[in-house]
A and B are shown apart, each in its own frame.
Chain A
């Protein structure tokens, strides 16, 4: 049994220590917001927060994260994610939406570290999150909009 802290709850999971966190979240805990896109750290669809940093849950073995705080898209709370979600909805960012959990978590981590990112900052932070539907420009606009909201400026 491995104990993991996900979205503020402690879970005991009966899984091999080498099991990627992604499958623990999806198959053992029923948290399907983090998506499988490549299983190889190449697409970002599986991104979750670990101690406030974005990580690829498909490349994070559950045996290595005892005691770390994991937050999935379902458990994201607070001003930053609220502003991002509002911007995503106002700009109709999602298409198929499959990549967007990962996009939002990467964007939340970016804004936490850099409240007014430039286009280049955004590209750097987000280039590992693929979107096959091509919502990139709207994602970038959404991040700027959320940043403006958080700064108290009119978006």
Chain B
């Protein structure tokens, strides 16, 4: 059994040795930069003597396009043709590769990659360009001001004579590294913001099977492990009988680890059969009797009480009490699994004083520290190879590094390298969900139909509580990830109160693509729509009036989406349009959804027109792709996905009962990008929040039925 994986390993090693093929993510960046004879004055850019430019990407490529967008910044500032650019993924090294927006930690999340890298990579590339120009000028015997860098060449602007970058590398490497190199003027951009100027660097490997994901790692003499985990939250291992499991051919070992019982085998199937044959008894914990119904009832009681103030303007309670036109509604969103297409996986190889990890890591620094703690090592003794992740949506950014720790715990008890595999059932039932929330909304209108009060009470678990993020994320009892998108309501309403209850439950919760905005966008944009209809006003006009001049970027996306969607133009019977706008992660997105209803409860989402302002759109097609993907992801949640609990157990296990959107259900999506000179912000998450309210608002327009609970399924009651 071990001979064949070795062959596969050698194939991998050959690729790693070549090291520079476009989009190959095998780590190795440390070595790539250390190679002699090349120009590598900083941690991000290297120029080889053949003119190849290697860009070190410190962020995880999980589909959002960092392996394309970040190198595009370098290629632009360095003036190299796109095909000369190669991508490698950075090693775990918080000293060089910390996310500037996460302080000292390396990691990917919060749609920060572009915002972090914009100036950092431009400066890094500009420094290299200046060194090449200086070297070129010296060799040409002309003043520096007389040479230009263009298309991978430094040339005398008078004579046109010059040299390719590769030919200047040796000389440039002897020059001092400029600390404050001049940056290109944006009017000279030829790649940034230009449609079709760059293509995804990872597309080839993702169409021929050669892209290597965490689950694809094969090491010599590697074993595969799966883990039997407690069936309810907080349960612990009482005892297990592994006699039948050990009798399964291919099973090598069965070991207890802190998170459960690991079955270690020659291959995945043997491990799975071994796990099936395992008899485990669990000791119930705090979550043994949990049910969604009981959680809902407990939360509903909390909705009746004032919560901690996340935002307070005027006196909402008094304005509500005084109003003759008052609206009240309760909204509900479920627990949600991330369900990335690639379930979690992690390969580990231990050596003396050393641990090497292969995974689609989203939080390298905390993963490194967590692995080191298990092994009694220093974090820098843990090397991480960040591979492609087959989606993540927040799941691999776990403050407990759950799957990394699990793999290391098993490796500690094994003889050789270990690969941990999570099945889809493990993924859906394994905890770490977008939190279940109840929202109580109360609003009041004055006689002219203007909102005078808005009270929003949220009840749901805190993601940060009890984690290393608590100090940074919880202020005065408010976890900002719970209220983001609610406390930031942009509408001018004189009496406004946003209040939070954060009950503690044993269910483990985590950020899920767009985090607080994944539910707050739905709730605020739906309830505002309720108020518009109650006031007898057009939902677009109502929003525009309340945004006023204070929020020009909200207004611009709203106007653009409305115009492109033909807002206000008549629709045939049985059709409806809904609109929503939301800011998240400093990007602004508006969407207009068009639905058709059949009069019998069936409906389809036909078309979504999306407008986005993410500052400078570095790679416009990646921006469009992320909006399309965000819409699909948000629609899955709006229509179908829910994790429910009964008797402590998760009721779902795989895609048959945790459905996600299919091709036939995908609406036509048009994305329009607002031209901007602002620094770029993220696009991985902001496409998600507006879609559920846009569709719910469209269904209201078509049927008069208001949707306040997600998911609302493929059918609604009409009339």
Q: Chain A residues in contact with chain B, CB under 8 A? A: 14-16, 19-20, 23, 26-40, 42-43, 45, 72-74, 84-85, 88-89, 92-101, 104, 122-124, 126-127, 129-140
Q: Please pick, from A100, A122, A132, the residue contacting B207 in the complex, using a CB distance under 8 A.
A: A100
CA distance A88 to B205 in the complex (A): 11
Contacts of A131 in B (CB 8 A): 341, 632, 663
Q: How far is the CA of A20 from the CA of B270 in the complex (A)?
A: 11
Q: Which residues of A contact B631 (CB under 8 A)?
A: 134
A63 to chain B, nearest CB (A): 12
The stretch of B213-221, B237-245, B488-496 that contacts the partner chain: B213-221
Stretch at the interface among B385-393, B431-439, B573-581, B674-682: B385-393
Contact surface of B with A, Cβ cutoff 8 Å: 1, 4-5, 7-9, 11, 62-65, 199-200, 202-213, 215-216, 218, 224, 249, 266-269, 273, 339-343, 388-391, 393, 421, 423-424, 621-622, 625, 628-633, 636, 654-656, 660-664, 666, 668-669
Q: Closest residue of chain B to A37, judged by CB?
A: B341
The answer to whether A95 touches B65, judged by C-beta atoms less than 8 angstroms apart, is yes
Given known A15-B269, A131-B341, contact A96–B390 (CB-CB < 8 A): yes
Q: List 24 A-B contacts (CB under 8 A).
A: A23-B267, A23-B268, A23-B269, A27-B268, A28-B4, A29-B4, A35-B213, A38-B655, A39-B654, A40-B655, A43-B424, A45-B341, A73-B209, A89-B200, A94-B206, A95-B65, A95-B391, A97-B207, A98-B391, A104-B207, A124-B664, A127-B662, A133-B632, A136-B666
Residue numbers in A under 8 Å from B390 (CB-CB): 35, 96-99
B424's partner among A27, A39, A95, A122 (CB-CB below 8 A) is: A39
Give the CA-CA distance A79 to B224 in the complex, in Å. 37
Expressed in whole angstroms, the Cα–Cα distance for A145 and B488 within the complex equals 44
Q: Given contacts A23-B267, A132-B339, are A94 and B207 in contact (CB under 8 A)? A: yes
Q: A23-B269, A28-B1, A38-B655 are in contact. Are A123 and B203 (CB under 8 A)?
A: no
Specify which chain A residues have a CB less than 8 angstroms from the CB of B666 in the assembled complex: 134, 136-137
Given contacts A42-B654, A94-B207, contact A140 B424 (CB under 8 A): no
Which of B11, B202, B208, B636 is close to A73, meaning CB atoms less than 8 Å apart?
A: B208
| Known contacts A40-B654, A130-B660; A97/B63 CB under 8 A | yes
A96 touches B388 (CB 8 A): yes
B656 close to A89 (CB less than 8 A): no
B212 to chain A, nearest CB (A): 7
Q: Are B423 and A39 in contact (CB under 8 A)?
A: yes
A14 → B minimal CB distance (Å)? 7
Q: A122 and B655 in contact (CB under 8 A), knowing A30-B218, A35-B215, A95-B63?
A: no
Q: How close is A125's CB to chain B, nearest CB, in angstroms?
A: 9
Assess whether B206 is in contact with A100, with CB atoms less than 8 Å apart: yes
Determine the chain B residues whose CB is within 8 A of the CB of A127 once the complex forms: 662-664
A137 to chain B, nearest CB (A): 6
Docked complex Cα distance between A143 and B655 (Å): 25
Main secondary structure of the interface of B (DSSP, over half): loop
CB distance A42 to B656 under 8 Å?
Answer: yes
Chain A residue numbers with a CB within 8 Å of B625 are: 92, 95, 135, 138
B626 to chain A, nearest CB (A): 8
Complex CA distance for A130 and B662, rounded to whole angstroms: 6
Asked if residues B269 and A16 are in contact (CB atoms below 8 Å), the reply is yes
Q: Within the complex, which residue of B207, B389, B628 is in contact with A96, where a contact is CB–CB below 8 Å?
A: B389
Are A30 and B11 CB-contacts (below 8 A) given A37-B424, A95-B65? yes
Whether A32 contacts B267 in the complex (CB less than 8 A), given A42-B655, A43-B341, A130-B662, comes out as: no
Other CB < 8 Å A-B pairs besides A97-B211, A133-B63, 20 of them? A27-B267, A35-B215, A36-B215, A36-B423, A72-B209, A74-B210, A94-B63, A94-B203, A94-B207, A122-B663, A123-B664, A127-B663, A130-B341, A132-B393, A133-B391, A134-B630, A134-B632, A134-B661, A136-B663, A137-B669
B341, A32: Cβ atoms under 8 Å? no
Contacts of B218 in A (CB 8 A): 30, 32
A65 to chain B, nearest CB (A): 15
Q: Give the residues in chain B near A124, CB-CB below 8 Å.
A: 664
A137 with B208: CB separation less than 8 A: no
Minimum CB–CB distance from B316 to chain A (whole Å) comes to 38
Complex-state Cα separation, A75 to B662, whole angstroms: 27
Expressed in whole angstroms, the minimum distance between the Cβ of A2 and any Cβ of chain B is 13
For residue A28, which residues in chain B have a CB less than 8 angstroms away from its CB? 1, 4, 267
A97-B388 contact in complex given A32-B216, A127-B663, C-beta closer than 8 Å: yes
Alpha-carbon distance between A23 and B207 when the two chains are bound, in angstroms: 20
Contact between A16 and B249, CB atoms less than 8 A apart: yes
Closest to B633 in A: A134
Whole-angstrom distance from the CB of B687 to the nearest CB of chain A?
9
User: When A92-B625, A97-B206 are in contact, do A132 and B633 touch as well, CB less than 8 Å?
Assistant: yes
Contact assessment for A135 and B654 in the assembled complex, using a CB-CB cutoff below 8 Å: no
Q: How far is the CA of A129 from the CA of B633 in the complex (A)?
A: 15
Residue of B nearest to A95 (CB): B63
Q: Whose C-beta in chain B lies nearest to the C-beta of A84?
A: B207
A15, A19, A131, most chain B CB atoms within 10 A: A131
Q: How far is the CA of A129 from the CA of B662 in the complex (A)?
A: 8
> Please, which residues of chain A bring their CB within 8 A of the CB of B200?
89, 92, 94
- Tell me the bound Cα distance from A133 to B389 in angstroms: 12
Closest CB-CB distance, B150 to chain A, in whole Å?
26
B342 touches A37 (CB 8 A): yes
A14 to B11, CA, bound (A): 22
What CA separation (Å) do A18 and B636 show in the bound complex? 34
Known: A35-B215, A96-B340. A137 touches B63 (CB 8 A): no
**A14 and B250 alpha carbons, distance in the complex (Å):** 10
Query: Could you tell me the distance between the alpha carbons of A128 and B65 in the complex, rounded to whole angstroms?
Result: 25
| Cβ contacts under 8 Å, A100 to chain B | 206-207
User: What residues of chain A lie closer than 8 Å to B5, measured between beta carbons?
Assistant: 27, 30
The answer to whether B212 touches A32 (Cβ under 8 A) is yes
Cα distance A29–B8 in the bound complex, in angstroms? 8
B232 to chain A, nearest CB (A): 23
Contacts of A19 in B (CB 8 A): 269
Q: Distance in Å from the Cβ of A139 to the closest Cβ of chain B?
A: 7
User: Nearest-CB distance from A131 to chain B (Å)?
Assistant: 7
* Residue in B62, B341, B389, B668 whose beta carbon sits within 8 Å of that of A137 in the complex: B668
**Contact of B199 (CB < 8 Å), options: A15, A35, A73, A92:** A92
Query: A132 CA to B662 CA in the complex, in Å?
Result: 9
